[in-house]
Each structure stands twice: as C-alpha cells, then as structure tokens.
Amino acid sequence: MNSGSKSWLLAGTCVLVGAVVLSRMTAHSHSRNAVASVTESEPIVLGSSDRSIADKPLEAYRTELLDLAYETASALPDTPFIKDRARLQETIVEACFQLDQPDRALRYAERIANWRRGACHADFAFYCARHGDSADAKRHMEIARDIANSASKNEDSQDWEIDEIKVRIARTLAVLGQTSNAAEWAAGVVDSEFGKVDAATTAVATSETFDRLIETLDVCAKSGNSDRLRNTLETCVQLFGRFYDDAERRSRMETRIKASFTSLPTLIRVETLMNLSEIAAEHRDTAMAFELLKDARATLDGGRWAPEDRIPLLARQAVLRYRAGDASSARRELDAAVAMFESEHEKMPNLLRAGVLRPIAEAYQVIGDEGTALNVYARAVDEGADNPNHIPRTNDLTATCCSMALHGVEPYGSLKLRMREICDGLSQSR
C-alpha cells in the first residue's frame, strides 16, 4: 500500500462519483460501443498549466535496471506471446511512475502492442493530473480513449480490458474535477473494475461527506459480489487512513472492515490487516500497529499455506514490525523466513522460487541490511534462470530488475553481468 501517493486528490469527488455509479448498479450491462470524448463543459478545477512533466533525477544504476527490465520483457516475441509481453512491459511502466520517471514511462508505453498501451496513457494522464498539468492529462486521456475504441472493435478483446482503460480515465477525470463525466466512464464496468474510482478518490473525503460515502459503500458491500466487495474493502482501508485521527470514524471503518472478513479468503484478510497496521505505523500509533499485526499473524497462523504463499507474508510482516519500531524482531523473522525457504526449497515449484525470494530481499533492504539484500537478490536471479521455460525466466528477471530499481539496490559487478547474460540469452532464443 502506498498511501502517501494519494494525498493530492480533490475533496468530495468520491461521493459524487460513487452516488452516480450507485444509481447505475442495477443496469450493469456492458456496452462495447465507442466511448465518448473525455472533454466536457464541466470546469477543470486544477490549474491549466502547459508545463511539461519531466523525469526527476534518478541514480544511473536504477535507470539501467529499468532499461534491462524492459529489454528483458521485450525479448518475448509478439507472436504468440503478445499478452505476456505487454503485461510485463506495463509493470515496468508502473515502476517508472513510482520512481517519478513519467517520460521514461511514456517511451516504454509507446512500444506496447495491445490495449495495455491505452491503459498506460491513462496512467500518464493520471500522473499529469496529480502534478498540475491538466493540458497533458486531457491529451493523454484522449489517446487512451482512442486506443480503447480501437480495441473494442477487436473481436478477440475482452470486456475487462476495455473497462480497465475506462476506469483509469475516470479516476483522472475525478482528479480534474469532472465528476459527472468520471461517473459516466465508471458506470457499467465489469465487476472486477467496479468501485476502483472510489478507492482512488476517497483519500481526501471530508468529514461532511463521510456518512454519505459510507452509505454508498454499504450498498456495494451488500451486493454479494466478491469482486465488488474487494474493491469496497480497499476503499474502506483508504478511509481508515484518511480519518485515522478521528477516533470515532476510524473505529467505524475498522468495524466495517473486520465484519466483511467472513466472506473473504484468508489471504485477503491477512493482507488487509497488514495494510491497516502499516497505516497505524505511519500515524505513529505503535500500540495499534502491533495489535493489528498480532491479528494478522494469528490469522496467518490459523490457515494452511504452501511455503511459496506463507514466506512472502512473513517477509512483509517483518517489514511492518520494523516500521512499528521493533527492529530486532523484524530481523529474527526475516532470518526465519530465509530458513523456511531453505528447508522447503524442494517442495516449491522452481518457477515460484524467485518470487518468494524477492520480498525477503526487499525486506532486508528496508531494515538497512543491503549486503544481505544483495545476496538474496543474487539467489533470486539464479533461481529465476533455473527454469527451462522461456516465460518464467522472462517474468523473473523483469520482476527482479524492477524490484531492485524500486528499492534502491545496486547490483555489484558480477551480479550485473549475470543479469545481462540471462537477458541476452532470452533475446537470442527468440
């Protein structure tokens, strides 16, 4: 969860969007017709700056890691791997936005050969809107819309693909103050996308709009649809953080969140409790952070898990424990996670092992042990390459490059050469 990135949203737009979307819930019939222009007569409340959005300074090794990740993903040929290739390319674009590299993100996005290019343009518009460039935001929403229209004419396209672009456009419109237009775009989407605009805009809900938003969320929660419930749960977590200093409202949100657990998988319950613990730690509420972390651990221990599922959760819990102030316990838990990986190594499918190691490496970096983080990353690189299948090798090297770039871990010389060697091997096997 990255709650800090949501502080820029416009107050109250979540309720306006949610109310209009709610009124259309009973008419949930998806249309594949061309979608309307993103411009309308409703005013844009952010400044109409024409300034360019530019990449912020970034260490050279991190840009090299991003380039290597993109080169690795692009080694997959469009035929027959266009879906896998585009999915991986989009993850690198997302990493660029997290690192405030919008120009690089746009350059990468332009090489994506399917509908995900439209989703990336919508994300670029979102980034521009957050940073005050409404002119570029509108331009790139129009590009995203055109790609969505083109994709909708393809008989092989799926509803959720078009809807994902629409929802990303809708959240940008909400940021720009075009609330009714945002609601139009968010209405009628497939269940997996329903409610995502609310989740993106509730971070600045006001105390005056809180109760009306809760009513909207309650109706969504009672729909019985698991996808909608999950998106509603994310909105509730956002509200928990937004109103953390308001004890009464915070308590109401915590009660609603925990009441929804009976109909949700154990993994989502554990992750949600960890998200709440992270929010508490961000607000320096150590007692609450540890209490929620205790609940998360009890839920985790009460379930039956494959090692490839349990170990990453243990690594994240160690990070949360560290951020709550218990560094010694965090290290012990991380060391225990490494020991579990070693003891359960042969039980895990080899295509999953690198994905288990990356959260451990990230966690060691968070607690300040870059040396161990590098060793674990090196092991992840080797584990990811130890697969005869082209797709898992590509997935793992791409993910490891992005992880190291995002967490600020510079590969040492021989590790960098090993990563380059794997990438070159993937390119030569096309």
What is the band of 14 on the pLDDT scale with cuts at 50, 70, 90?
A: very low
pLDDT of amino acid 414: 98
Picking from 62, 99, 57, 97, the residue whose alpha carbon sits closest to that of residue 401 is 62
Taking the C-alpha atoms of residue 122 and residue 99, their distance in angstroms, rounded to an integer, is: 17
- The predicted-structure confidence for 141-158, as pLDDT tens digits, reads as follows 999 999 999 998 888 888
Q: Are 105 and 93 in contact (CB under 8 A)?
A: yes
Picking from 384, 383, 366, 369, the residue whose alpha carbon sits closest to that of residue 316 is 366
Query: Chain-centre distance of CA 179, in angstroms?
Result: 23
pLDDT at residue 43 tops 60: no
Taking the C-alpha atoms of residue 72 and residue 70, their distance in angstroms, rounded to an integer, is: 5
Residues with Cβ within 8 Å of 421's Cβ and at least 6 positions away in sequence, in order, are: none
Q: Are 422 and 385 in contact (CB under 8 A)?
A: yes
H-type helices in 99-186, by residue range? 102-109, 116-130, 134-152, 159-175, 179-186
Q: Is 261 left (phi over 0), alpha (psi -120 to 50) or beta?
A: alpha
Taking the C-alpha atoms of residue 265 and residue 254, their distance in angstroms, rounded to an integer, is: 18
The whole-number average pLDDT for the span 202-220 is: 65
Cβ-in-10-Å burial (0-12, 13-18, 19+) of 86 comes to: buried
> % helix / strand / coil in the chain, to the nearest 5?
75, 0, 25
Residues with Cβ within 8 Å of 224's Cβ and at least 6 positions away in sequence, in order, are: none
Taking the C-alpha atoms of residue 269 and residue 274, their distance in angstroms, rounded to an integer, is: 9
Amino acid letter, residue 243:
F
Distances (CA, A) of 213 to 15, 179, 189, 235, 255: 5, 15, 20, 10, 16
Residues with Cβ within 8 Å of 66's Cβ and at least 6 positions away in sequence, in order, are: 92, 95, 96, 99, 101, 104, 401, 402, 405
Taking the C-alpha atoms of residue 38 and residue 293, their distance in angstroms, rounded to an integer, is: 43
What is the band of 330 on the pLDDT scale with cuts at 50, 70, 90?
A: very high
Top-confidence residue, 186 or 152: 152
pLDDT at residue 178 tops 90: no
Q: Are 217 and 19 in contact (CB under 8 A)?
A: no
Taking the C-alpha atoms of residue 73 and residue 59, their distance in angstroms, rounded to an integer, is: 22
Tokens of 53: 């959005």
pTM score > 0.95 for this model? no
**For residue 201, how many other CB atoms are within 10 A of its CB?**
29
- The DSSP element (H or E) to which 362 belongs, if any, is helix 350-366
Distances (CA, A) of 153 to 32, 83, 147, 158, 289: 8, 18, 10, 10, 49
Domain spans of the chain, in order of start: 1-56+100-263
Distances (CA, A) of 411 to 88, 364, 369, 402: 21, 15, 14, 12
Cβ-in-10-Å burial (0-12, 13-18, 19+) of 282 comes to: middle
Picking from 321, 318, 259, 252, the residue whose alpha carbon sits closest to that of residue 286 is 321
- The DSSP element (H or E) to which 289 belongs, if any, is helix 286-301
- The predicted-structure confidence for 378-422, as pLDDT tens digits, reads as follows 999 999 999 889 999 999 999 999 999 999 999 999 999 999 999
pLDDT of amino acid 37: 67
- The DSSP element (H or E) to which 378 belongs, if any, is helix 370-385
H-type helices in 178-265, by residue range? 179-186, 196-201, 207-221, 226-242, 247-259
Give the total residue count for the chain: 430
pLDDT of amino acid 182: 82
- The predicted-structure confidence for 265-301, as pLDDT tens digits, reads as follows 999 999 999 999 999 999 999 999 999 999 999 999 9
